[in-house]
Amino acid sequence: MKNELAIAERIKELRIFSDYSVEEMAQKLGISVKEYSSYETGDKEMPINLIVKVANILETEAAYIISGCMPTNDSAVVVYDGKGVSVERYQGYSFTSLAADFKNKQMRPMLVTIHPSDFPELVMHDGQEFNYVLEGELRVIVGENEYYLRAGDSIYFDPKQPHAQLAMGGAPAKFLTVING
């Protein structure tokens, strides 16, 4: 089973177990019933920011929705050589969770690799976000502003504003992102 279908199936099972209707979930997420249904059937891949919202609504861990495994550690989690739990969000955009096995996370540290694209996917989510560029060049759109970052540069911003990251210079970019909330 493809990862997107497994994620969709887990979301549906958790929703039913939590006694929410499709309409209630769509309303809580602030999206249409049609859009929510397309995520739950696996017709459309759910963005990570919505997976985190679903996890919060259903009182579970986003790591469980993504991987099918509940976090088990509550004192420390070590990830050696960047080999955490990896997910390809869509073609050319992958991330690796650096704390997937830590229970009750208040922050979500991830390594992100993004390939050049002409079509940024603007997303919004709660909390705060920090990006630190490790390799390559990164264009970060936050609301009406654009920021151009290179290795060693960082940005901290309010992700409730529409935002996106894009690799520049014809090469992939790799950055650390930490999201709280």
Q: Write out the two tokens for 91.
A: 């073609």
Query: pLDDT 10s digit of each residue in the chain, 181 long?
Result: 457 788 999 999 999 999 999 999 999 999 999 999 999 999 988 887 788 889 989 989 888 898 888 888 889 999 999 888 877 766 777 888 899 889 888 898 999 999 998 777 788 888 899 999 999 999 999 999 999 999 999 999 999 999 999 999 999 999 999 998 6
Q: Determine whether 106 is exposed, middle or buried from the number of CB atoms within 10 Å of its CB (0-12, 13-18, 19+).
A: exposed
Query: Which long-range contacts link 90-98 to residues 24+ away (Cβ below 8 Å)?
Result: 90/45, 90/121, 92/116, 92/117, 93/117, 95/48, 95/177, 97/63, 97/66
pLDDT computed for residue 135 by the predictor: 97
Q: Between the CA of residue 79 and those of 9, 11, 75, 109, 130, what are the distances in Å? A: 28, 27, 14, 11, 19
Q: Between the CA of residue 1 and those of 6, 15, 44, what are the distances in Å? A: 6, 20, 15
CATH architecture of 80-180: Sandwich (2.60)
pLDDT computed for residue 92 by the predictor: 75
pLDDT computed for residue 2 by the predictor: 58
pLDDT computed for residue 76 by the predictor: 94
Q: Between the CA of residue 76 and those of 99, 105, 112, 117, 122, what are the distances in Å? A: 9, 11, 22, 36, 33
What's the residue count for the chain?
181
| CATH 2.60.120.10 in the chain, residue ranges | 80-180
pLDDT computed for residue 90 by the predictor: 65
CB of 67 closer than 8 Å to CB of 101: no
- φ and ψ at residue 35, rounded to 5 degrees: -65, -45
pLDDT computed for residue 31 by the predictor: 93
DSSP state of 152: T
CA distance 149 to 53: 28
| CATH 1.10.260.40 in the chain, residue ranges | 3-67
Domain 3-67 carries which CATH code? 1.10.260.40
